[in-house]
Amino acid sequence: MTKVLGVDPGDVRIGIAISDESGTLARPLNILRHVSRPEDAHRIAEIAQEAEAGAIVVGMPLDAQGEVGPKARSSLRLIEALRAICQLPVIPWDESYSSQKAAKIRIQAGVKRKTRAKPIDDLAAAVILQSYLDRQENVGELA
């Protein structure tokens, strides 16, 4: 098993998460400022290399019907940019409601309201990555 990098792409910030060596537990890693698709892809690829990740999972926000909408198309363009510069598998993963789940995690953890107002993009990336890891564990192997 190998580490997996999780990415929650956004218009302003990009959340980054990383799994443990066993590929079973995700944790928040970093929040990047969105610059441009090529620059973002380059920075994500560098982080993946530094973390010795074996794959990159990119959140793709599907619409209520599970279809690809404008936000998901933006994620697909980032995935294409990553695949063009990176030898690692780049895997799209449904990120629907990951930010809401991340906010709920903070509330359940007793984080004060003032602190909860801070960006949670890295935690959302961890939620996306954990969803992927849990699914792979159920399937029995990483995609």
Q: What is the pLDDT of residues 37-89, one digit of tens each?
A: 999 999 999 999 999 999 999 999 877 777 777 788 889 999 999 999 999 99
User: Three-state DSSP class for 28?
Assistant: strand
Within a domain: 143: no
- 116 pLDDT exceeds 70? no
Residue 142 is assigned to a structural domain of this protein: no
| Domain enclosing residue 63, as ranges | 3-137
CATH number at residue 23: 3.30.420.140
Residue 100 has pLDDT above 80, yes or no: no
Phi-psi region of 140 (alpha: psi -120 to 50; beta: other; left: phi over 0): left
Is 98 contained in some domain? yes
Secondary structure letter of residue 65 according to DSSP: T
- What pLDDT, on a 0 to 100 scale, did the predictor assign at position 96? 64
Task: Indicate yes or no: pTM above 0.85.
Answer: no
Beta carbons of 20 and 28 less than 8 angstroms apart = no
